Amino acid sequence: MARPYNPRQARVNRPNSTFETQQIEGRFVNVSRMVQTPPMDESSALSRLRDLEIETPSWGYGNSGTRFHVYPWPGAARTVHERIADAGLVHRLTGCCPAVALHIPWDAVDDYPALQRYAQEQGIRIGAINPNLFGSDEYRLGSICHPDAAIRERAIEHCRECIQIAEQVGSTVISLWLADGTNYPGQDDLRDRHARLLHGLGEVYASLPPGMRLLVEYKFFEPGFYSTDLPDWGTAALACRRLGEQAQVLVDTGHHPQGTNVEQIVAVLLAEGLLGGFHFNNRKYADDDLIVGSIDPFELFRIMREIAHGGGAENIAFMIDQSHNIEGKIDAMLQSVMNIQTAYAKALLVDEQRLAEAQAEGDVLGAHRIVLEAFESDVRPLLARLRREVGVDEDPVAAFRSGGFADALARERGTASVESAYERL
Ligand code: RM4
Ligand code: MN
Ligand code: MN
């Protein structure tokens, strides 16, 4: 039997919604972003592309591997200074990566202002500071959700230390991912863990200076295989709502179960003013941290379409979070950066006017074709023009490959041998 007709439900989010429903919606969502915009011309697309800044991760420049083996890469960065230097090279080759994210204590130094000066010498700045709440024996049962209050306090203290580091290097973003979780049903009390989570995040939030944001990252599994304490965007959003305006959600594109509609999460977080930033990478099965857009470029396009369409991109931190097991680090980072630009350029070409009309007319496949048209456009000439205008090579990967950089780094740094956790036993 057909469900009874509910006029309010039928009107929600339709262009002809009544004043009453608009008011109800307006309390929660930013209705102004629904205003139609004309199709974008090339120079507007270029200026939006020029504004797109991508932050690369220090940990993406070093050797990394799986639990089976770490294959060393000739010339891979070994120290924080080498990681920053590589991020600087990526910026020189692409013209759009002016910041590098740090992971503490992986990138810990004694003198942070000196490290910031070093980054400046490399032509970049230090971006998000990532507290590391998993790389120490005491975190076996969690960090800020640990059953022992003394460990929880140490974890919170580490976050406070990271806030101070951020202040010293002039960064305005703390990017927090918790490895907290459990492996077996019954291992710990889920509601108690949630309470500890909110308390711990509250303590960290209270230490933020004005103007600094706390980006809360979620992940549905790993290293916890039964539960993680921040498993999804909903839990992260609930926490951020409680914390206040300086807390926003960080979407790592590899942190969802198979088949999740990531662009819809992005759309809702944008509408709610809760999208703080991204960790871009690509996945096939798990948290694979592969090159952005390498497995599913259409998903990347759909995500960037929400950014292009929604506006407000200036407040979003576009960060890469990937690690490379069998490939060259800098080459991989360049390919990720270029893939993000490609997806964004295509997303900017969606004919919003025609799409809104097709949607209003209920032209299901007409609307779909308009989105596909943009995805199928060849944006290489547009990106070549962008790169010429910012003074870099039209193909940064080709420039890296032919520029002798890899050989020079391999000569200078050699090939470090790295052992995996198993091999150390
Ligand atoms: C996690 C998560 C974090 C990253 C670590 C290294 O899976 O994505 O953002 O800092 O890996
Ligand atoms: Mn991440
Ligand atoms: Mn991850």
What is the predicted pLDDT for the residue at 290?
Answer: 98
DSSP string, 70-134: ----TT-B-SHHHHHHHHHHHHHHHS---EEEEEETTT--S-HHHHHHHHHHTT-EEEEEEE--S
What is the position in ligand 1's atom list of the atom closest to the CA of 175?
A: 9
CB atoms within 10 A of CB 205: 19
Interacting residues of 123 by C-beta distance below 8 A, sequence separation 6+:
88, 91, 92, 98
CA–CA separation, 392 vs 341, rounded Å?
Answer: 14
CA–CA separation, 363 vs 358, rounded Å?
Answer: 5
Q: Which residue CA neighbors atom 9 of ligand 1 most closely?
A: 177
Interacting residues of 79 by C-beta distance below 8 A, sequence separation 6+:
none
Closest CA to 256 of 215, 228, 276: 228
What is the predicted pLDDT for the residue at 420?
Answer: 66
**Bridge-partner residues for 279, per DSSP?**
252, 319
Q: Of the residues 139, 175, 217, 229, which should be mutated to test ligand 1's pocket, given the most ligand atoms within 8 Å of the CB?
A: 217
Q: Of the residues 215, 220, 279, which should be mutated to test ligand 1's pocket, given the most ligand atoms within 8 Å of the CB?
A: 279
Between the CA of 254 and the centroid of ligand 3 the distance, in Å, is: 6
Q: Is 153 exposed, middle or buried (0-12, 13-18, 19+ CB in 10 A)?
A: middle
What is the predicted pLDDT for the residue at 310?
Answer: 73
What is the predicted pLDDT for the residue at 38?
Answer: 52
What is the predicted pLDDT for the residue at 265?
Answer: 98
Interacting residues of 364 by C-beta distance below 8 A, sequence separation 6+:
none
Residues with CB under 6 A from ligand 1: 59, 103, 130, 177, 217, 219, 252, 279, 287, 321
Name the residues around ion ligand 3, CB cutoff 5 A: 287
Q: Which residue CA neighbors atom 7 of ligand 1 most closely?
A: 287
Per-residue pLDDT of the chain (425 residues; tens, 9 = 90+): 344 433 323 222 223 333 333 343 333 344 344 444 456 788 999 999 999 999 999 999 999 999 899 999 999 999 999 999 999 999 999 999 999 999 999 999 999 999 999 999 999 999 999 999 999 999 999 999 999 999 999 999 999 999 999 999 999 999 999 999 999 999 999 999 999 999 999 999 999 999 999 999 999 999 999 999 999 999 999 999 999 999 999 999 999 999 999 999 999 999 999 999 999 999 999 999 999 999 999 999 999 999 999 776 778 999 999 999 999 999 999 999 999 999 999 999 999 999 999 999 999 999 999 999 999 999 999 999 999 999 999 999 999 999 999 999 999 999 987 766 566 65
What is the predicted pLDDT for the residue at 422?
Answer: 65
User: What Å distances lie between residue 82 and 57, 92, 115, 324, 348, CA to CA?
Assistant: 12, 15, 11, 16, 35
Q: Of the residues 219, 290, 292, which should be mutated to test ligand 1's pocket, given the most ligand atoms within 8 Å of the CB?
A: 219
